[in-house]
Amino acid sequence: MRRKKTIVTLTTALAPAERALNVLGTDLTEKGLRRYLNGIAGVDAVGLEQRAAALGTRSIKTTSKRWALDTIISLIDLTTLEGADTRGKVRSLAAKAITPDASDPDCGPVAAICVYGDMVPDAVAALGAHHGAPDRGKIAVAAVATAFPSGRASLPVKLSDTSDAVAAGADEIDMVIDRGAFLAGNYGRVFDEIVAVKETCRREDGTSAHLKVILETGELNTYDNVRRASWLAILAGGDFIKTSTGKVSPAATLPVTLLMLEVVRDWYKLTGQKIGVKPAGGIRSSKDAIKYLVTVAETAGEEWLQPHLFRFGASSLLNDVLMQRQKMTTGHYSGPDYVTID
């Protein structure tokens, strides 16, 4: 990545266009975006994968493992994104988010529950007094939007999708970028859509739902594209960059997440502003999740191991973590019958 000698100090109050102008130092045009993004250094794929593999070999044991398991739970976006979702399923998901392990009152809660936009009112109602900001011990409601998971819709439809979810009480919006436009090199269109969705996240009281920008890295084909898309999403105002919808394979991988963490680290060095990262899809075991914790700590820093800066998008991960916690308490595996079904 091209380095600047001075730090560009940004505040979260800056509009996306101002944020981009401060960093690009040029006119905010398609040509300017293309010049900047194409000027980013290429990714050393071999080096990236070797470092990810090395980080994945680190082991965490005893009390540190218990801390790691509890941390994973606090970072989970417990997710249900199926066409067959019902109000009852969302209520059950909320109950599990509040009390992941009914046998252990010291366990939980998770960071958020993630649902389709039309399920937001049910999620908010089911959480009740537990609904709120994760960094204050509450549980957020995240809604996927912008014609998730394909993103194949007109901008007015995407903005209406977002507006409805925010009005219904969503604390966070997980949007998808137009991968076709990005792969065609139409960075300005992708930038403008993210900016428009970011503005739609603003509520009448002046507050704003947090915006997670899903890159769908499995469709971006190269590490270079993942790095460019990460920078583009942050420039356009994303509060988080997220790997995947969970509907495309491959979804989250450790090398891709490492690369995205390097981007937010470099952004922080450049601007003093912290951006979150959310790997989603395919992370099913506590063993794998611990590898991500190590990667976060070793790349962006331990301060990123907080719900407002790192999340796991998962549905089945929580059960494995709960079984591992029970094993540490009882000395034996209790099995899946001792945790609730998602």
Catalytic residues: 174, 242, 278
Residue among 125, 73, 110 at smallest CA distance from 289 = 73
- Cα distance between residue 286 and residue 106, in whole Å: 18
Whose tokens are 């937001």? That residue is 120
231-269 residues labelled b (16+ CB within 10 A) or e (exposed): bbbbbbbbbbbbbbbbeeeebbbbbbbbbbbbbbbbbbe
Q: Which pair of tokens denotes residue 130?
A: 């537990």
- Cα distance between residue 5 and residue 323, in whole Å: 49
User: Residue 141: in which H helix or E strand, if any?
Assistant: strand 140-144
Pairing, β 76-79 against β 312-314: parallel
User: How many degrees, rounded to 5, is the angle at CA 269 between CA 266 and CA 270?
Assistant: 85
Q: What φ, ψ does residue 172 adopt, rounded to 5°?
A: -140, 145
* Interaxial angle between packed helices 62-74 and 286-299, expressed in degrees from 0 to 180 and rounded to the nearest 10: 90
- Cα distance between residue 85 and residue 116, in whole Å: 9
Residue among 136, 204, 148, 201 at smallest CA distance from 170 = 201
